[in-house]
Every structure is written in structure tokens, then in C-alpha cells.
Amino acid sequence: MPYAPAALEKPVTINRLHKMKMDGEKFITVALYDAPMAAMAQKTGVEAVLVGDSLGMTVLGYDSTIPVTMEQMIYHVEAVARGNKKSLIMGDLPFMTYATPEQALTNATRIMQAGAHMVKIEGGAWLVETVKMLTDRGIPVCAHLGLTPQSVHKFGGFRVQGRDEARAGEILDDAAQLDEAGAGLLVLECVPAGLARRITQAVSMPTIGIGAGDGTDAQVLVINDILGLTEQPPKFSKNFLQETGNIPGALSKYAEDVKSGAFPDEAHTFS
Ligand code: KIV
């Protein structure tokens, strides 16, 4: 039966997202930053929302996510949590606020107290101890691999990651170690579709792709891209407002296309 977007009836838990992976049912994620959009996501049945540090670029006008502060993240997590009582809310820990496990614990506590249900951190095997530290203390963690924007200067730009065998193997190994450490979800950003599919099959945690093809357990897009607000949109994003003409319609069409597997298609995928 085709998916029809409908309001979430009860709060989405991490267990429900894990069950959806087991059942092969894709879930919808949107990165957004304010109460009205958060409320619309709840009405559209968006299972998970991410208060991403992309807000540095999409809302605050910076060139990267690096200048984003804890105070800015907390301000936006609180707004999203006020607008949405049903989606699972993830909050990013910004640049250098989780350089040590102890620092991660202090800052993740603040994000959770602002209303998030999970924190997201960028990086590979070096975060194993941090993931254990947080999850052992009751803070669920979403890991983030591939193009991790906080490392943009290390990568020399916003570049697809994992096209060569060595880097692909590294990302695969990082994913396995973070899964083993207890991470609950994994964002895969800008990696070839084949690699994302391999990782999704190898790990128990659900994967959320952005520029990672159609083989992940879920998709995430930034609300500004969905609504055509980005001046130079990345190849993997899609302006759903163009074909629908209004904001609720754009969000619904995105949700429908993720559920049916129509998005992402070849044109929005890296190989
Ligand atoms: O900050 C963000 O919005 C993100 C997504 C693009 C995955 O990390």
C-alpha cells in the first residue's frame, strides 16, 4: 500500500527505529532548527529530527559548522523540543566539544537537558571510548561517518569520502567498531552508494544516509535544501518545494519518496 504521510501518534523511540531496520521499513529524518518546522515534521510523520550544527551555515550565515557553540545548539534544541513532542530528537555536539570522553559527557548532558533524546558526534574509531562513556550513562549516541563537516579542513573541502579502497575500508571498520561500542544510529554522509549499502548490511544500528544512495535504512535532508533555500545546493539534495508549491506539500513529498525508495535516485547519488 502506498505510504500516506500522517501525524505521528506516539513518541518515536530508538527501539522503534531498530525494529524498522529489522522489518526493512525506511524511516524519515529531517535536519531542522525551529519550533514551527519541528511541529510540521511531527504532523508529516517524520520519525526523527536532527538539530544539526549545519545551523551554523543554514541559519547563522557561517561558511562551515566550526564556529557553532554549545549555547547556539541548546537554543535551537530547546525550540525544536517545544514544537515537536513525538519525533525522536537528535542534537549535534559542535566542534571540539567532545574531544575527550569527559568533555563529551558534560556537553551531551546539556544537549539532553535541552530536550534531545540522543546526541550526534562526528568521527571514527577514536570515539569508541566516548560512545561507551555516554551510552553506559544512559545517553544514546548517533555516530556520523564519511564526509564529517567538522573535519572539512582536514579533507580539503566538502568532498565525497570512501571512493578509494583504503578509505572505504577505514569507514567500514569505523562503523563496525562504533556499532560494537553501542552507538544507536549512524549517519553516512557523501559516500558511494555501494559502500553505504555494505555498511548498512554489516551493522546492527540503523543507518541514515545523506548523499549515500538508496541502500541505507533512512534518509536525512536539511530543511533548507528541501525548501530550495540553498543558493548552491549539493548534488545529493533535492528541492521538493519546486514540484509541490507549498511547505507542507514539500515535506510530505520528501517523506513519500523516502518511504517508497523513489528518493534518492541516480541523479542524487555518488558512485
Ligand atoms: O548538521 C547536520 O545537519 C548534519 C546532517 C547534514 C546529517 O549533520
Enumerate the domain spans of the chain. 14-268
Average pLDDT over residues 40-47: 98
Measured from the CB, is residue 50 less than 6 Å from ligand 1? yes
Band of residue 9 on the pLDDT scale cut at 50, 70, 90: very high
Q: How far is the CA of 245 from the centre of ligand 1 (A)?
A: 25
14-268 CATH: 3.20.20.60
Q: Which atom of ligand 1 is nearest to the CA of 221?
A: 6
- Asked if the model's pLDDT at residue 3 lies above 90, the reply is no
Band of residue 127 on the pLDDT scale cut at 50, 70, 90: very high
**Is 189 among the catalytic positions?**
yes
Measured from the CB, is residue 220 less than 6 Å from ligand 1? yes
Average pLDDT over residues 118-141: 98
The C-alpha cell of 256 is what? 513519500
189 Rama class: left (phi>0) / alpha (psi -120 to 50) / beta: beta
Q: What is the pLDDT of residues 167-189, one digit of tens each?
A: 999 999 999 999 999 999 999 99
**Stated length of the chain:** 271
Q: Which atom of ligand 1 is nearest to the CA of 149?
A: 8
By C-alpha distance, which of 2, 93, 6 is closest to 41? 6
Average pLDDT over residues 201-210: 98
Q: How far is the CA of 23 from the centre of ligand 1 (A)?
A: 26
Residue 53 labelled as part of a binding site = yes
Band of residue 2 on the pLDDT scale cut at 50, 70, 90: confident
Measured from the CB, is residue 53 less than 6 Å from ligand 1? yes
Residue 265 labelled as part of a binding site = no
pTM over 0.85: yes
- Asked if the model's pLDDT at residue 1 lies above 90, the reply is no
Average pLDDT over residues 57-61: 97
Q: How far is the CA of 242 from the centre of ligand 1 (A)?
A: 22
Please name the residue that has the C-alpha cell 528541501: 226
Band of residue 23 on the pLDDT scale cut at 50, 70, 90: very high
Q: How far is the CA of 137 from the centre of ligand 1 (A)?
A: 25
Q: Which atom of ligand 1 is nearest to the CA of 50?
A: 3
Average pLDDT, rounded, for the chain: 97
